[in-house]
Structure 1
C-alpha cells in the first residue's frame, strides 16, 4: 500500500499552549489532543515539543519509513537535481523539536545504518544509552557523534513506531545528561501514541482515497446507466453468424480468460466496444467495471487529466482533485477507443503505466499503483502511423500483443438480415409500433449497399425507416446513396499528382459536398469517410477547411 503523503512540520516560532511539568500530565494532554483532532502534525508536534521541554533535553525527532517519492522534501530535492532517487525505503524526518542548531543535518537515514533510530527500527526493539561516549568504537555513525560531542550530548533513547507488527518509523530522543528510567518509559508511551496517530492518519487518508475513487466510479457508472437507457443502438448483443464474425468471437474466447493486452482494429461503426465488453465479461475481472475512454473525443490539453487524474490546483480550472480513468479501472478493465489519436507525449506516459503499472496524477509526484487490464481499439493503420512518426513503435508493440480485427459489414453481408431483425425488435419496443419485417426490395438494397459507416450506419438507416413506417412491413425511407468516396475513379490515372495534404483536402471537401456540409449524423461526411467526427474535425482544422462551406 502506498504511504499517504504527510504535510507536517514544526513552525519556526512554535510556542506550546500549556507548560507541563509532570510527564503524565503531558501524556494526558496528548491523549486528549489525539482524541479531539485529526491533525497528525499537531499531535506529533505536541509529543516532540513536550519531550524537549525536559531539563537538558536537546532533540526529539519522529521519522517515518517511506520511499523518496512519498517524502515531499526529498521529491523537491530530486526534482531540483540535488538528490538521486533511491528505490529503497528509508527513515525520513517528518517532525523535529530541538534546541541545538545543526541537529537537522540528517533528513534521510538508511535502514541499515548505525543511527540509533535505524537500529531500533531494524531490530524492532527500543534502546537506551546512558552515555554514548562509553560505547565501543564503531557502534555509532561518526557523522552524528561529531555533532553530539560538539553540543555535549550524553544520553540517547530510541523507540520503534509499530502497530500490530507493522513498522511505521522510529522516534529518537537525546539529552545533555543521562536519560532517567521514568523518562524512558514515558518515551515508550509517547511512541505508542505517535504510532497510533500515524497509523490512524494513514488509514484516514487511504479511506479518503477510496472514497474519492468510489464517488468518481459511481458518477461514471450513473452516466453509463443513463447512456444505456437512452441508447438508440440497442447493442445488447453481438449479432451475426457469418464465418468472419465467428472467427472474431473465437479469438475473444481465447484471450478473455488471460491478462493479455488486446488491440482491436476495425473501421468506424463495426462494434469494437462490444467486442471489448465481451472480453471483459468473460474475464476474471467481470465483477469490476469496464471503464471506457474515447481518446479521439478529448481535447489534447486535458487527455492526461482524463487518463491519470489531477490534483487540486494542478492547472487553471482544477478546483478539486479528480480521479482518472486508470485509477477508476483498478482491478478491472480499461477500454481505450481511438488510441491512435493520443498525442506523442501522452503515449510515453501510457507506455510507462503499461510497463511499471503505476502513474502520477497531474500536479503530483506521488506514484499510484494500479492493476488494470487494457483493451485498446483503433480505426487507424497503426503500422503506417509508426512508419510516419505519429505513433511510438514501442507502444504499438506493447499494445499489439493479441490483435483482433473486426471485419466491416460489407465483408459479412449474410449477417445483415439478422441485424435487421435485431434492430426491428428493438425499435418496435422503443417506438411502440407493430414492426414485423422488412420489405423484400428494401432488404435486397440493404444487402447490396457497401455500408461505409458499418453497423452504426445500418442502425441509423433502420431507425429512420421505422420512425416513418405506417404499417408493419418497413420500407426504406429513401434510396441508399453510394458515398462520394466510392464514386468511380474514371480518369484518376491521368490526373496530375498532388501532395498528400492537397489530396486529403480535396477528398474531405468532396465528402462535405456530398453530405451538404454536414460533419455529424448518419449522412454526414464523417460516416461517408468512415472516420470518427472528432478525427474529421481535427483534420479539417489542420488542412484549413472551414465548416461553413465545402468549397
Structure 2
C-alpha cells in the first residue's frame, strides 16, 4: 500500500457504519423523546451486535418519569436527595429492559457510568471481567459480556447523560470512533426532542393562560379597587400589607358580597409573585367529578371525554397565586389532594402517575364557618389548619357604613361608563336610605341596587328607592293613580290568592291583612269580591 492511500474499511465495519447512519436518520425524523431514546438503544442492539444498550439522562427525581411512577430509587454511589441531579436510566434494550432496577439512578462520579459523566470522556474496554470499574462480575459472567463502550452525551458543552453499550464480542478501535461520532449526533437528537417537549408544554400553558385571561376580561369584575376609609377597612388593608410580602397561605372569611376576591387580588398585586398569574377557581362552580380535573388537570384518556391532556389550575398558577373561592364547597376527595399540594407542593394529574412539582401561593376564601364544618365532618380538620395559617375576616358593609358614600361615588363612575349615561350623583334622601340599610348582600347588593336605579334614571341625578321595599320601578311622570277603593280591592284579592281563598285561621287572608275575619268579609261584600266559602278550612265549622 503506497503512502497517502486511505486504509480500507473492513466489510464488518462498513455494515456497522451503515447501521449507525440508519439509526441517525430515524432519530432525527422524530420529535418525541421516548421514541428517540428507544430508537437509539434498539438500533444499537439489533444492528451493532450489542447485548445491551442503555441511556442514562441527567435529571432530578421530580423530572424523571420513572421515579415519579415507581417512587425514588436510591442512587448507586450515594443518595444526595431528590432535588440533586443524577443519572436516571431512561431507555434500555437487549437482555435487560427494566428501567426501575438497581442501576436506574447513578450519582455523577460513581461507577463507570458516573465516571464517564464526571470526566466527560468516553470509556472503551475489551476485557470488562478484569476491570475493577465493573463491579457486578456475576452478571458479567452470566451474560458472557466481554466488551463495553460508554460515551458522554454532550450538546454545546451541556452534559445530557451517558450511553452504555455491552457486547459479547470485541469492539474495534474503528467501531469505537464511529460510535463516538454517533453519540454526538444522538445528543443533538435528544436535546432537540427535549426542547420540542418544553416548547409544547409552554405553548399549552400559554394557550391556557391566554384563555383564562380572556375569560377574566369577559367576566364582570365589578369595581376595580378597594374603596373606603372606615376603621374596619383600614385594619384589613394593614393586614394585607403584612401578609402580602410573605408566602403564607391566607384564608379570607366573611359574608357573601364583601369583596374577598378584591382582597385576594390586592395580596397578589403586592406580593413578589405579582409578575406571574393570579388564577381564580370557584370551587362550588364545578360538579364533584370534575373538580379534581379542574384543579390538577388530567391526562388524555383519563376518563370519558378526556380527548387530550389538560393542564390544571395549580400548574397554571406555578410561580404565581391561586385563589380558591368558596373552598368550603370542595368534595372530600379533592380536599385530600389539596392537602397534599399544600404540604408537598406536588400532585399528579387525573389519570397520570408522574408527580408534578409547583411553586404556588394559595389564598382561599369562604363564607362558611369552616370550624363548624370541621365539627360536623364536612371539612377535613387537617386541611382547615393548613389553610388557617393567616386568617383574615373581611367586614360586612353594615360594619363600615361610613364607606357607603365613597362606594356610591365609585360605583356611579363605573356605571356611567357601562350604561353610557351622564350619572353624577344620587339624591340626599337616597343616600340616607342607603346608609341606614343593613345590606345583607353587602357591596354586591349595593352595586345591584345602584345599577337598577341608574337604568331607570331619567337624568344625571339618580333616585334610589328604599332597598327594604324592593320597589325598584319608578312611576311615570303623569301616572293616573287608582282610587283608594280600587287599591283596597286589589290588595284583598292578592291576599286571597296567596292564601288559596282561605279567610279564617292562622294562615288565612284575615291574618295576613291583620284584620278581623268578619270585617274582611264585610269589606269583600262591599267591594263586590265573591266570598270563597267553599274553599275554607273544614275546621271552621261551616258547610
TM bracket, shorter-chain basis: 0.7 to 0.9
Q: Which moved more, 1:464-473 or 1:293-302?
A: 464-473
Q: Does 1:26 align with 2:16?
A: no
Aligned to 1:141: 135
Query: By how many angstroms is 1:121 displaced?
Result: 3.6
Deviation per residue, 1:401-426 (Å, 9 max, x gap): 22221110111111112212222222
Specify which of 284, 297, 300 is matched with residue 309 of structure 1. 297
CA RMSD of aligned residues (A): 3.0
User: Which of 419, 428, 448 pairs up with 2:436?
Assistant: 448
Match of 2:191 in 1: 199
Match of 2:30 among 30, 37, 40: 37
**Are residue 186 (structure 1) and residue 178 (structure 2) matched?**
yes
Distance 1:107 1:172, change over 3 A: farther
1:212 is the counterpart of 2:208 = no
Tell me what 1:401 maps to: 389
Q: Give the aligned partner of residue 153 of structure 2.
A: 161
In structure 2, how many angstroms separate the alpha carbons of the residues matched to 1:46 and 1:301?
39
Q: Radius of gyration: which is bigger?
A: 2
Give distance in 1, aligned partners of 2:86 and 2:180.
Answer: 22
Deviations 1:498-538 (A, max 9, x none): xxxxxxxxxxxxxxx9xxxxxxxxxxxxxxxxxxxxxxxxx
**Partner residue, 2:425:** 437
Q: Normalising by structure 2, what TM-score?
A: 0.75
Equivalent residue, structure 2, for 1:351:
339
In the aligned structure 1, how far is the partner of 2:49 from the partner of 2:408? 89
Aligned to 1:295: 283
1:263 aligns with one of 238, 251, 258: 251
Alpha-carbon spacing, 1:126–1:257, altered in 2? closer, same or farther (3 Å): same
Q: Give how far 1:89 is off.
A: 7.0
Change (3 A) 1:315 1:443: same
For 2:458, the equivalent position in structure 1 comes to 470
Q: Is the 8 A contact 2:69 2:354 kept in 1?
A: no
Decide whether aligned partners of structure 1 residues 46 and 440 sit closer, same or farther in structure 2, where only a CA change above 3 A counts.
closer
Cα distance in 2 between the residues matched to 1:253 and 1:73: 43
Corresponding residue of 2:52: 59
Residue in 1 that maps onto 2:162: 170
> Does the alignment pair 1:339 with 2:327?
yes
CA drift at 1:272 = 0.5
CA gap 1:45/1:182 in 2 versus in 1, 3 angstroms: farther
**1:111 and 1:122 in contact (8 A); partners too:** no
Equivalent in the alignment of 2:122: 126
- In structure 2, relative to structure 1, the CA distance for the partners of 1:35 and 1:458 (3 Å cut) is same
Q: 2:129·2:140 contact (CA, 8 Å) conserved in 1?
A: no
The 8 Å contact of residues 103 and 147 in structure 1, kept in 2 or not, is answered as: no
- C-alpha distance 76-222 of structure 1, shift in aligned 2 (>3 A): closer
Q: Please, which runs of 5 or more residues in structure 2 have no aligned partner?
A: 1-11, 73-78, 471-497, 499-543
- Three-state SS of the structure 2 residue aligned to 1:32 is helix
C-alpha distance 237-77 of structure 1, shift in aligned 2 (>3 A): closer
> Which one is further off, 281-290 or 67-76?
67-76
C-alpha displacement of 1:29 = 3.4
Task: Using the TM superposition, give the Cα deviation of residue 274 of structure 1 relative to its aligned residue in structure 2, in angstroms.
Answer: 0.8
Q: Does 1:111 align with 2:106?
A: yes
Separation (CA, whole Å) in 1 of partners of 2:122 and 2:346: 36
> Does residue 1:373 correspond to 2:361, yes or no?
yes
C-alpha change, 1:390 and 1:20, in structure 2 (3 Å) is farther
Inter-partner Cα distance in structure 2 for 1:125 and 1:410: 75
Alignment partner, residue 3 of structure 1? none
CA distance in 2, matches of 1:26, 1:311: 37
- CA–CA separation in structure 2 for the residues paired with 1:107 and 1:471: 76
Please give the TM-score of this superposition, normalised by the length of structure 1.
0.74
Bigger Cα displacement from structure 2, 438-447 vs 368-377: 438-447
> Aligned residue for 1:323?
311
Taking the aligned partners of 1:463 and 1:126, their CA distance within structure 2 comes to 75
Kept in 2, the 8 Å contact 1:69–1:365? The answer is no
SS of the equivalent of 1:173 reads strand
Question: Separation in 1 of the partners of 2:260 and 2:100?
Answer: 53
Report the CA distance between 1:380 and its aligned residue.
1.1
Distance 1:63 1:168 in 2: 8
Deviation, structure 1 residue 361: 1.1
* Structure 1 counterpart of 2:477: none
- How far residue 74 of structure 1 moved from its aligned partner, in angstroms, is 6.6
Contact 1:294 1:338 in 2 (8 A): yes
The more displaced of 246-255 and 467-476 is: 467-476
Q: Is the Cα–Cα contact under 8 Å of residues 114 and 141 in structure 1 kept in the other structure?
A: no
| 1:478 Cα offset (Å) | 5.5
Q: CA, structure 1 residues 375+467, in 2 after alignment: closer, same or farther (shift >3 Å)? A: same
- Give deviations 1:347-370, integer Å, cap 9, x for gaps: 221121122122211111112221
Is structure 2 residue 380 aligned with structure 1 residue 392? yes
CA distance in 2, matches of 1:103, 1:247: 66
1:238 match: 226
Whether contact under 8 Å (2:284, 2:327) holds in the other structure is yes
